[in-house]
Structure 1
Amino acid sequence: MKFSNAWLREWVNPSLTAQELADQITMAGLEVDAVEAVAGEFSGVVVGEIVGCEQHPDADKLRVCKVKGHPDGEMQVVCGAPNARVGIKIPFATVGAVLPGDFKIKKAKLRGVESFGMLCAQTELELGDDNDGIWELPADAPTGTDLREYLQLDDSTIEVDLTPNRSDCLGVAGIAREVGVLNRCAVQGPVVEPVAAKIEDSLPVSLMAEEACPRYVGRVIRNIDITATTPLWMAERLRRSGVRSIDPVVDVTNYVLLELGQPMHAFDLDKLNGGIKVRMAEQGEKLTLLDAQEVELQAGTLVIADDKAPLAIAGIMGGLDSSVTEGTRNIFLESAFFAPLAIAGKARSYGLHTDSSHRFERGVDYRLQEKAIERATQLLLDIVGGEPGPVHLREATEAMPAERRITLRRARVKNGLGIDMADDEIVEIITRLGLEKLSENAEGWTFLVPSFRFDIAIESDLLEELARVYGYNRIPSISLTAALDIVPREEADVAQNRLEQTLLARGYQEAITFSFIDRESSAKFDPEAEPVALQNPISSDLAVMRTTLMAGLVKALQYNLNRQQDRVRLFETGLRFVPAAEGLKQERMIAGLIYGTRQPEGWAGTKDVVDFYDIKADVEALLAHYDAEAEFTFIAAKHPALHPGQCAQVLRNGEEVGFVGALHPTLQKTYDLPKAAFLFELSQDALGQSLLPAFKPLSKFPEVRRDLAILADAETPVGDLLKVAVEAAGEYLTDFNVFDVYQGKGIDFNRKSVAMGLTFQHPSRTLNDEEINAAVDAVVRELEQKYNASLR
């Protein structure tokens, strides 16, 4: 929002300089981007009048003018402007004047004729873009008056960068209201009285899309003089707000937009067919806009139409065919309220952005339309004349925004702002902002929110307003203190950072990938799950929520390989999102990936590549935190993302915890990986809690070890043999390990040899041979019965 400081001062005039005012409203949340002079620096320029104009004797394109306005009388000026003629008022730079760029006017001789000054164009004074000739001032401009004084050029423009929630300040009235609140000054805008109708003409209006446009105000004005000139004061205010003057009707609608914040539009009444219909466009309808661009309208776009065709895209831009032109005599003024959601995004979809769409998208005061149309009528009658008809209002009451009533509690003010504010000050600030106090009780107050404040809806919004107006710089910085209870932590819980530190110690690096992936990757890694689709994805590559962390890690591996990192160890912790019968299940996961050589490159290292047992060892290191080695088992399994022959399911007491294995060969080829990658993914929730350690007295008696070599079927998992052996060995078994597995010469092709060591120890005495032999025999016997195993 860009506005003139002098224009604002007509509404409210605090004792502040322009820069002080800019600083003040910036601190109040309306950030000022720039404070700039409205014109270039110049002096010695007066309002001149050409009283004589003759052709230069030696130059076809030069004229010798007699100009009034100098204190010493008429001056001779040689001018080359094509529009120089007797009777016009122009800017006259006298001898000694200094123009922008430190250009000094001196007495000169052009083709033998003396010239005592210069007649100026807009661009030469940095007062506009017109460079076609000298600037023609209004006929009533007082000759001889200093131009800066006449045009009030000792002024500045203030440009405010508003946040989207402060649409109420997209007009001088809104800015003035804020300044009045901050300075406790009276705000006095122009008096807007209803304009009496002189004719009975009106247009029928049908609201066919009431939710999108619940309020529409229109008025017919006949017999206007479109050839009238926009007053200089209005054109200057428009220019200082960054708006170009076009014609009186358009200028008035733009002026009301800048003054009150209400966009308006004027149609050429004689170009309309029947009444006005506010409806949704039909797919494929076409409209030529004011900028001569033809657009094909999309279904769902709100339009203003007559009985035959669309006339304008509602709240964005009017159509060329119904626009006001040099031949217009009768107009239909429109002032409406369009719901922000009905306009939001529509301008961008057509490659447009207008002052109207900028305001309607953020919210316009839904009670302002009648005042705006009366103000516009008032201005138009003063400039172009005409005969106004009655104001015609159509309103869908049930579709209008509901009244908002907010209760503000005294205790909440103290707790939220950290300061004590007197009740009178709280009420004064809130009511000066335009809210109406409805009631008061021991707890607080109830206020009614005005129609122009779309951003105030809850109690916290009122706290923000109090802090903003009271002054952020007046609120002391106080360290917050609070009595906090120490929350007990279950000793059996395994903290996530312990798992992370374990992986870091084993050479992993943490990766953080998106929680959403493309649908194709989701189908490759978890084809049985139907992922949750995002309603508004960032891109098609991030369209669904992940059901596994593996996809992100494999893409991270591919990214690293493309940058010559051929030894990769990554892990990630995060949520996966799995649809469930009771809704979306969000499960905490920890996943890892290894790729490349087992050891970093070095003179003492080998070039062996990682295999399944490397990543299985990493998983076992994580499981060791749960002190429940006997409860965790690995069994051969299948997973759509893992190699069919190198995949294990991780169980705790028979319940699935996760998977570990090599990446599926198909996926390895898809992602162009030269070597096999190995992954694991575990559910932190399913891992459960750690078993708490319990002290057992140390035995001072000797250990006894027995080694067995067992022949078993080659397909029998060693883990199953171990489980049976431990159960059969008895209570005095203190350690058990497998130290060799052999298949080859000397053994049946379908059998394998498993060498295991059993260590026994009694807590209070020395075990004898009979007890040891009995335990070993029990192990052999159980293995023979259950797995057809025998001693080698």
Structure 2
Amino acid sequence: MKVSEKWLRSWVNPSVSAQELMDQVTMAGLEVEGFEPVAEAFSGVIVAEIISCERHPNADKLQVCTVSTGSENVQVVCGAPNARAGLKVGFAQVGAVLPGNLNIGQAKLRDVDSFGMLCSEKELGLSAAHEGILELPADAPVGQDIRTYYELDDIAIEVDLTPNRADCLSLRGLAREVGVLNDLPMHAPDLAAVPVQHQDLFDVTIEDGKGCPRYVGRVLHQVDISAATPIWMVERLRRSGIRSIDAVVDVTNYVMLELGQPMHGFDLQQLNEKIVVRKARADEKLVLLDGQEIALDPSILVIADAAGPLAMAGIMGGVHSGVSATTTSVFLESAFFAPIELAGKARAKGLHTDSSHRFERGVDSRLQEAAIERASALLASICGAQAGPLIVKEQAEYIPKRAVIDLYSSVVTSSLGMSIDDLRIKQILVGLGFTLLTEAEGHWQVQAPSWRFDMAIQADLIEELARIVGYDNLPVTAPKVAMKPQGPAEQATPVAALVDRMVSLGYQEAITFSFVEPGVQELMFPNLNSLKLANPISADLSAMRVSLWPGLLKAVQHNLNRQQEQVRLFETGQRFRVENKGLEQVDMLAGVITGSRAAKGWYENGESVDFYDLKGDVEQLLGHIKGVEFEIVNGTNSALHPGQCARIERNGKLVGHLGALHPNLAKSFGFKQNVYLFEVRLDRTLPALLPKFRPLSKQPASTRDLAVVIDEEVSVSAVLDTVREMAGDDLVSLNLFDIYRGKGIDSKRKSIAMGLTWQHSSRTLTDDEINRFMDLIINTLQTRLDAVLRG
């Protein structure tokens, strides 16, 4: 949004410099992106009148003009085709300095003296127009400095607005802010209704009330389209970055800049029967004012008549119904279009207009009548337009409701760290356009103005107060919170501790996508349901992972393809499974190893890792959980080798799996070496047991060794569990120290040897007591597990 400083000060004129004014606006949240002079520097140019023009005696394209400066007549040679007697012009006198540091002196052109120069707009730096000399209105005062006449000692301020502040895409919005910031009244132009001079109406129908809740129109007759737009309006448009076209277009653009309401003028003679606001129909087309033909579709809101589309609503009008040199009657349109209905429509067609920029962000839904009256008054004064009655159509149910918010001064104080006087709060809110519905001591019920779509909760009002008071005026206070030091619970095991343990075991942490390739995942877990993404970033990442393994295996594949033969990775993250009760999200820790057991060296033979390397790492990891016993038993998993797969259990409940990658999966990934994986559920793994103190016994311990032969199918853990069960409460240690297969043992059996230690807390155990325990253990192993005592 660009606006002239002088134009802004005509609404509200605080006693601050231009820089201070821009700083105020920036600190209020409306960032000033920059500023520039409205015209380049020049001097010595005045308003003059051409008294006479005669053909140059030695050049067909030159004229010798007599120019009045108000104090004298001077001779000037001019080549402009529009130079003529009686014309008021910009005259650079001898000694003038034009933009670009061009000095004007006495010259002789084809043997004829010339004392100065008649200037074009380009030569004065006002625009790029250079086809002829600058033509001034007939009432321009001869002899007055052009800079004074045009008020060129001015700057154009560019304000960069956030999307929620569309109300400041107008001079009125900016002036409102400046007025409240400086506690000054705003001097708005007269927006009173103009006299109705005829009763002609034009039928308007709103078919799409959701897209266009309000539509206001008016018929204007006796419009003199040839009337020149006043210099002051042309200049204000130019300083806002808009080129003057004709009086009707200039007035609609001017009202848009002044009040924030985009408008459009139709040539009434080109309209057929009625105006209809509707969605475009299939295969409809429209040639816009810029000559571009647009193919419309049913998502686009259009202004149409009985013959077809006239304009893309809120974006741009069509060339067929636009105002032209033959226009004498105008149908003036001022509407409210719903932002959500217009959002993205202009960009989709490669367009971006001042109107679409405002409508997409939100225009005041109650501004339409005032804008029509303002435009009608301007057109009456410039073009002699005669106004008819207002035509107002609306569908109230679609007009945005104004938010009603409760505001408490106590909350203002606690939020900002300072108190604001109740009277000052009222002044700020009323100045910004808010309505105080009810008022009590320290409490107001506030209704947002129709141009503030971003107001919804009390915090929004407090932010408005902070903006106006000034963020730099808010006190800097450190928060005070009464806190007691609190350490982690003894039974809690931080995930970070497990991460540290994995790193100490030589693993590197990986972070992979939570999205995986559905084909690979279904191959690994054919019986699990995964959540499919509605809008995946790619086809290879279109399903939520049901395990951390697919991502880790992709990482292993990436490393092996780059000659990294020894890979140890782990990851913590969530898995996602579709269960009967809905989506199950569980925190997991998973790891993978492959390659050699240790880095290559003269002391290493390059042995590859195996199942027991992974099992040992997992046991060390789980050993970090205080007071908890985990069991690793035979198990199955669709992603693991049937003969090298184990379940990890805690109190009989499944915690996770570990094992070798299934050969078929290894082949599909292209692995030529064994890969071993594990994964545990953190929710079932992390909770530790609260340690309990047990007094140390002063009594001597008794130790026995026991070796038994059992079938290969019998697990060692079954033997150890039986021994613990039969050994009594005084067993303090059970240590497996040997497993033997080979000579002297049946090929279908194995020998295991273990050490048992008993110790009583208050007395010495006798040999008879220890022998009874040993006999009970041996007999139970024989009857329960078919074990034989090894001699």
CA contact (8 A) 2:658 2:678 kept: yes
Q: Counterpart in 1 of 2:136?
A: 137
**TM-score (structure 1 length as normaliser):** 0.90
1:791 CA displacement: 5.3
1:254 CA displacement: 1.6
1:173 CA displacement: 0.4
Instruction: Quote the Cα distance in structure 2 between the aligned partners of 1:520 and 1:330.
Output: 68
CA contact (8 A) 1:257 1:264 kept: yes
Residues 498-555 of structure 1: per-residue CA shift (max 9 Å, x gap): 2222223223344444555566666566555555566666666666654444444445
Letter aligned with residue 754 of structure 2 = G
1:314 CA displacement: 2.2
CA distance 1:92–1:659, shift in 2 (3 Å) = farther
Shifted more, 214-223 versus 510-519: the winner is 510-519
Q: Counterpart in 2 of 1:760?
A: 757
1:420 CA displacement: 1.9
Instruction: Quote the Cα distance in structure 2 between the aligned partners of 1:124 and 1:708.
Output: 111
* Residue 658 of structure 2 corresponds to residue 695 of structure 1: no
1:116 CA displacement: 3.2
Question: What pairs with 1:199-598 in structure 2 (closer than 5 Å)?
Answer: 199-442=198-441, 444-484=443-483, 489-516=488-515, 523=522, 528=527, 530-532=529-531, 545-557=544-556, 567-598=566-597
Q: Counterpart in 2 of 1:18?
A: 18
Q: Counterpart in 2 of 1:192?
A: 191
CA distance 1:549–1:281, shift in 2 (3 Å) = farther
Question: What pairs with 1:144-163 in structure 2 (closer than 5 Å)?
Answer: 144-163=143-162
Letter aligned with residue 450 of structure 1 = P
Q: Which runs of 5+ in 2 are unaligned?
A: none
1:458 CA displacement: 0.7
CA distance 1:331–1:562, shift in 2 (3 Å) = farther
Shifted more, 158-167 versus 194-203: the winner is 194-203
Q: Counterpart in 1 of 2:615?
A: 616
The total of aligned residue pairs comes to 788
Query: What's the secondary structure of 1:198's corresponding residue?
Result: coil
CA contact (8 A) 1:738 1:754 kept: no
1:305 CA displacement: 2.5
Residues 91-122 of structure 1: per-residue CA shift (max 9 Å, x gap): 33223222223232333344544443333333
CA distance 1:730–1:25, shift in 2 (3 Å) = same
Instruction: Quote the Cα distance in structure 2 between the aligned partners of 1:267 and 1:536.
Output: 44
Letter aligned with residue 652 of structure 1 = R
Q: Counterpart in 1 of 2:37?
A: 37
- Picking from 682, 685, 695, the partner of 1:684 is 682
CA contact (8 A) 2:67 2:75 kept: no
Instruction: Quote the Cα distance in structure 2 between the aligned partners of 1:297 and 1:538.
Output: 30
1:4 CA displacement: 1.0
Query: What's the secondary structure of 1:219's corresponding residue?
Result: strand
Instruction: Quote the Cα distance in structure 2 between the aligned partners of 1:271 and 1:460.
Output: 51
Q: Counterpart in 1 of 2:3?
A: 3
CA distance 1:776–1:15, shift in 2 (3 Å) = same
Q: Counterpart in 1 of 2:646?
A: 648
CA distance 1:135–1:635, shift in 2 (3 Å) = farther
CA contact (8 A) 2:56 2:64 kept: no
Letter aligned with residue 759 of structure 1 = L
Instruction: Quote the Cα distance in structure 1 between the aligned partners of 2:510 and 2:180.
Output: 51
Instruction: Quote the Cα distance in structure 2 between the aligned partners of 1:507 and 1:318.
Output: 69
Q: Counterpart in 2 of 1:27?
A: 27
**TM-score (structure 2 length as normaliser):** 0.90
Instruction: Quote the Cα distance in structure 1 between the aligned partners of 2:753 and 2:275.
Output: 94
CA contact (8 A) 1:760 1:772 kept: no
Instruction: Quote the Cα distance in structure 1 between the aligned partners of 2:666 and 2:264.
Output: 63
1:52 CA displacement: 4.3
Query: What's the secondary structure of 2:135's corresponding residue?
Result: coil
1:175 CA displacement: 0.5
Instruction: Quote the Cα distance in structure 2 between the aligned partners of 1:414 and 1:162.
Output: 28
1:54 CA displacement: 4.8
Instruction: Quote the Cα distance in structure 1 between the aligned partners of 2:21 and 2:231.
Output: 26
Query: What's the secondary structure of 1:493's corresponding residue?
Result: coil
Instruction: Quote the Cα distance in structure 2 between the aligned partners of 1:721 and 1:293.
Output: 88
Instruction: Quote the Cα distance in structure 2 between the aligned partners of 1:105 and 1:558.
Output: 78
Query: What's the secondary structure of 1:121's corresponding residue?
Result: coil
Instruction: Quote the Cα distance in structure 1 between the aligned partners of 2:24 and 2:450.
Output: 25
Residues 306-339 of structure 1: per-residue CA shift (max 9 Å, x gap): 2343333322233333333333333322211122
Instruction: Quote the Cα distance in structure 1 between the aligned partners of 2:306 and 2:663.
Output: 66
Shifted more, 689-698 versus 290-299: the winner is 290-299
Residues 718-776 of structure 1: per-residue CA shift (max 9 Å, x gap): 44444444434444443344455566677666x35353422322235666666556555
Shifted more, 523-532 versus 463-472: the winner is 523-532
Q: Which runs of 5+ in 1 are unaligned?
A: none
Instruction: Quote the Cα distance in structure 2 between the aligned partners of 1:75 and 1:674.
Output: 99
1:146 CA displacement: 1.4
Query: What's the secondary structure of 2:678's corresponding residue?
Result: strand
* Residue 67 of structure 2 corresponds to residue 68 of structure 1: yes
CA contact (8 A) 2:745 2:751 kept: no
Instruction: Quote the Cα distance in structure 2 between the aligned partners of 1:176 and 1:85.
Output: 42
Shifted more, 500-509 versus 361-370: the winner is 500-509
Question: What pairs with 1:47-66 in structure 2 (closer than 5 Å)?
Answer: 47-54=47-54, 56=56, 62-66=61-65
Instruction: Quote the Cα distance in structure 2 between the aligned partners of 1:306 and 1:28.
Output: 45
CA contact (8 A) 2:3 2:156 kept: yes
CA distance 1:151–1:274, shift in 2 (3 Å) = same
1:667 CA displacement: 5.5
Instruction: Quote the Cα distance in structure 1 between the aligned partners of 2:98 and 2:400.
Output: 54
Instruction: Quote the Cα distance in structure 1 between the aligned partners of 2:130 and 2:641.
Output: 77
1:391 CA displacement: 1.1
CA distance 1:16–1:490, shift in 2 (3 Å) = same
Query: What's the secondary structure of 1:265's corresponding residue?
Result: strand
Shifted more, 730-739 versus 463-472: the winner is 730-739
CA contact (8 A) 2:48 2:70 kept: no
Instruction: Quote the Cα distance in structure 1 between the aligned partners of 2:350 and 2:662.
Output: 47
Report percent identity of matched pairs: 51
Letter aligned with residue 658 of structure 2 = V
1:264 CA displacement: 1.7
CA contact (8 A) 2:256 2:263 kept: yes
Instruction: Quote the Cα distance in structure 2 between the aligned partners of 1:622 and 1:203.
Output: 83
